[in-house]
Amino acid sequence: MANPCEKCPIVEKVACCCNSNPETGASKNIPIKGTCGMKGKRKLKILACDNLGTDGYCEIYEKRPEICKIKFCEKISQWA
Ligand code: SF4
Ligand code: SF4
C-alpha cells in the first residue's frame, strides 16, 4: 500500500509531525518554494527534522524510528 504521507505537503508535514528528530531532537532549516509578496522570489526556510529531505521525503524512511511508523494524523484520509 502506498504511503499517504507522501502526498502531504511539506509545510503541513513539518507543522504536524516532522518538525524535529523524535529521537535526538535535532532539526535543520530546509528551503521551501514560495513567494512572500515582495518583488521577486524570496528563499523561504522552514525548521524540520534533520532527516527530512528538501523534497519532503524522509531520508531514512526504511529505518525511521518506531514512533514515526505509528504516528498518523486525521489528515491521512485527505492524502490517501
Ligand atoms: S502524519 Fe499527517 S501531517 Fe504527518 S505526513 Fe502524514 S498526513 Fe502529513
Ligand atoms: S525521521 Fe523521518 S519520518 Fe521521522 S520525523 Fe524525521 S523525517 Fe519524519
Number of domains in the chain: 1
Which ligand 1 atom sits closest to the C-alpha of 78? 7
Neighbour tally for 71: CB within 10 Å:
14
Q: What is the mean pLDDT of residues 61-78?
A: 84
Q: Is 27 in the pocket of ligand 2 (CB under 6 A)?
A: no
Q: Which grid cell is 22?
A: 523524535
Substitution candidate for ligand 2 out of 13, 17, 49 with most atoms within 8 A of CB: 49
How far, rounded to the nearest angstrom, does the alpha carbon of residue 34 sit from its chain's CA centroid? 16
* Cα–Cα distances in angstroms (integers) from residue 25 to residues 2, 18, 30, 48, 49, in the given order: 28, 11, 16, 10, 8
How far, rounded to the nearest angstrom, does the alpha carbon of residue 76 sit from its chain's CA centroid? 14
The rounded Å distance from CA 60 to ligand 1 centre is 16
Q: 16 pLDDT exceeds 70?
A: yes
pTM of the complete model: 0.83
Quick one: pLDDT at residue 28?
A: 96
Quick one: pLDDT at residue 73?
A: 80
pLDDT in tens, 35-46: 566 565 667 889
